[in-house]
Structure 1
Amino acid sequence: MSRIPSTQALRALECFARQGTVRAAAEELNLTRSAVSHQLRLLERDLGFVLFNRVGTGIELTAQGRHYATDVRAALSAISSSASRNAGRGLSGRLTVSCTPGFAAFWLAPRISAFRATCPDVDIRIVTPRRLEDVSNPEVDVFIAFGSGDMAGVEVELLREVAFVPLMSPSLANRLGGIQSPGDILRADLLHLGSTEDWQRWMSAAGRLPKEANRGPVFADMNLVYAATLAGQGVSMGDEFICTAAMESGQLIRVTDIEIKSQNAYYLAIPSQNKDLAPASAFRRWVHDAIVGRER
């Protein structure tokens, strides 16, 4: 075909491919199911090849439809990325971002050049608070806090829920000869942040006695915990989200599938008086696309 299909129809296809049903796609797109079905029928007609098989009262993508949907997703992603890159062109000024030490060191610092590429003329300053949920610093434009989400005086958006898992370095794993059961972890020191509470919760989840967690050094800062973990000094109760890159690169090893869900999560918070600041809005879009958008 010579003409480009409608963007709305392509978005409907991409969303259906991810969600698997017309109902779920309609909910995400804030359209009626009949409107989504209509867009998909028009797209199939305009393309001239079969996108869907009818299965009972529903539809599913054909192999050709799946391949086309993958290409559409890549194209829409390229358009979105181009918009993000160019939206920051011409922006200038200063931006102060406060985020937790672990998030700053393990997630933001390795990616800061990506934000700089979108807003090269924005001077960004990264600070870390003493309390992980603190959003009170008047000099900060954007906060990434770790807490319950109950934060006064700021507009709050959930970024990521968190699970904690035992992590160790490859060198420690070699010295221990592998971990076959939760009890094998106790052959190494346990590394704690602030208290032994997280490890006590994990011991209970693993069918062990909580008091078995009361061993090993306690650190006041997450960066110290991870530094000790990377150096093979023990097993830490790690944040699975911010440690993803370290696990993928082989710097850290997830010891077991047993995990504990954190009662807190990462939130992006912007003071009400800063919500219309262009650099703050650009940073919010970039973080949202990097975390929330990528997981859709």
Structure 2
Amino acid sequence: MRYPSMTALRALDAVARLGSVTDAARQLNLTRSAISHQINSLEQSLGFALTERIGRGIGLTYRGECYAREVHQILADIQEAGRRFEDQQISGKLRISCNPGFASFWLCYHINDFLRQYPQVQLQVVTPRAPDDTSDPNADLFIAYGIGDWPDLLVEQIVALHFFPVCSPRLINALGGLKTPQELAGFPLIHMSDQTDWRVWLAAAGASSIDAGSGIIFSDAHCAQSACIAAQGVAIGDNLLSGDALARGLLVRPFEIAINPLRGYFLVVDPTKAERSVVQAFSTWLKNQLLATTQGISDKPPISS
């Protein structure tokens, strides 16, 4: 049996998908007679009929339908192989300045997916001194935490955050349960950077009488969440950094009330570097991956702060 031509395989695939020789001819920019000729040639190579007359038109035989499904998958695999090799043309060094909390709780768990898609990229991830610091002149892009105010830079919010209390189930069990926000008075509070998040959440929950200034302040999100997982207190978590711990049962969310913080995570890029193909590839990958991994983590309607 001779190897079938690619044109003949594409003709069969188009007829099978579109259900019409005319539509197949239009999509492939061929004539109807050329499509018919290609399918006839393919039938002669295979030794069995792919099409049959149905009224004034034609349809696929049972063997034709089965063969067309195999052909469609092969053509899809060929197209995917071409896309992967095209992606591999993206190369060079990429230095990412990433907020430590985002790096620890999200990027470190997903970054290898980017490298699998773009194996020729030389990737370096660094953490800045402050969550909103975008001063590193050697960085190609920044994943920064703030209110989105970075003059003269391209700024795009990459995930909408919802804040809510989280704690270890061991802590709740040890202290006899946690049913209402007012009962937080008997629990140690864990803060990140300052007490602002707790003050706003307690006000939204109608529990302003609780002393939001109590507890311990951590300057690092990793330390704050580690202390929370270790049952040292109740922290304000969010749908991004707390997502994995919530999914694994290391943390629980005792209340449905959530707030929309003024701050969030932003992709920040110098306009002079934004057109680099490696920067665009990472930016697209980051947004798609975030969308895939954060959907459904926190679907409770938040209260705006």
CA 151–82 in structure 1, closer or farther in 2 if over 3 Å, else same: farther
Aligned to 2:284: 285
| Structure 2 counterpart of 1:4 | 17
Contact 1:147–1:264 (CA<8 Å) still a contact in 2? yes
Percent of residue pairs identical: 33
1:214 corresponding residue in structure 2: 213
**Aligned equivalents of 1:291, 1:165: Cα separation in 2:** 20
Shift of residue 3 of structure 1?
3.4
Q: Give the unaligned 5+ runs of structure 1.
A: 7-77
Once the two structures are TM-superposed, the CA of residue 239 in structure 1 deviates from its matched residue by: 2.0
Describe the shift of the 1:286–1:86 C-alpha distance in structure 2 as closer, same or farther (beyond 3 A): farther
- RMSD between superposed Cα atoms in Å: 2.7
Change (3 A) 1:257 1:5: farther
Aligned letter for 1:174? N
The Cα of 1:274 is off from its aligned counterpart by: 1.0
Q: CA 1:82/1:173 → structure 2, altered by over 3 Å: closer, same or farther? A: farther
Unaligned runs of 5+ in 2: 1-13, 20-76, 297-305
Determine whether 1:251 maps to 2:250.
yes
Structure-1 residue corresponding to 2:154: 155
SS at match of 2:145: strand
Matched, 1:269 2:261: no
| Conservation of the 8 A alpha-carbon contact between 2:182 and 2:210 | no
Q: Is the contact between residue 197 and residue 236 of structure 2 (CA under 8 Å) also seen in structure 1?
A: yes
After TM superposition, give the deviation of residue 88 of structure 1 in Å.
Answer: 3.0
C-alpha distance in structure 2 between counterparts of 1:279 and 1:82, whole Å = 20
What corresponds to 2:233 in structure 1? Answer: 234
- The CA deviation at 1:187 is 2.1
CA distance in 1, matches of 2:176, 2:98: 37
CA contact (8 A) 1:200 1:210 kept: no
1:115 aligned partner, one-letter code: F
Letter in 2 for 1:203: L
1:65-144 alignment to 2 at 5 Å? Answer: 86-144=85-143
The aligned amino acid for 1:118 is Q
* TM-score of the superposed pair, with normalisation by structure 2: 0.67
Q: Is the 8 A contact 1:168 1:229 kept in 2?
A: yes
Encode CA deviations 1:78-135: one digit per residue, 9 max, x unaligned: 9999898555313322111112111111110011111111111212111122222222
Q: Which amino acid aligns with 2:238?
A: D
CA spacing shift, 1:213–1:110, aligned 2, 3 Å? same
Provide the C-alpha distance between the structure 2 equivalents of 1:105 and 1:87, rounded to a whole number of angstroms.
31
CA distance in 2 between counterparts of 1:202 and 1:106 reads 22
Aligned length: 225
Quick one: structure 1 residues 210 and 133, their matched pair in 2 at CA, closer, same or farther if it must change by over 3 Å? Answer: farther
Q: 1:220 to 1:118 in 2, by over 3 A?
A: same
Distance 1:215 1:86, change over 3 A: farther
Contact 1:95 1:141 in 2 (8 A): yes
Residue aligning to 1:49: none
Compare 105-114 and 186-195 and name the one that shifted more.
186-195
| Contact 2:144 2:266 (C-alpha < 8 Å) held by counterparts | yes
Quick one: distance in 2 between partners of 1:127 and 1:195? 24
Superposition TM-score, scaled by structure 1 size: 0.69
User: Measured at CA, do residues 164 and 276 of structure 1 come closer, stay the same or move farther in structure 2, by a change above 3 Å?
Assistant: same
Inter-CA distance 114–126: structure 2 relative to 1 (3 Å threshold): same
What is the alpha-carbon distance in structure 2 between the residues aligned to residue 245 and residue 117 of structure 1? Answer: 22
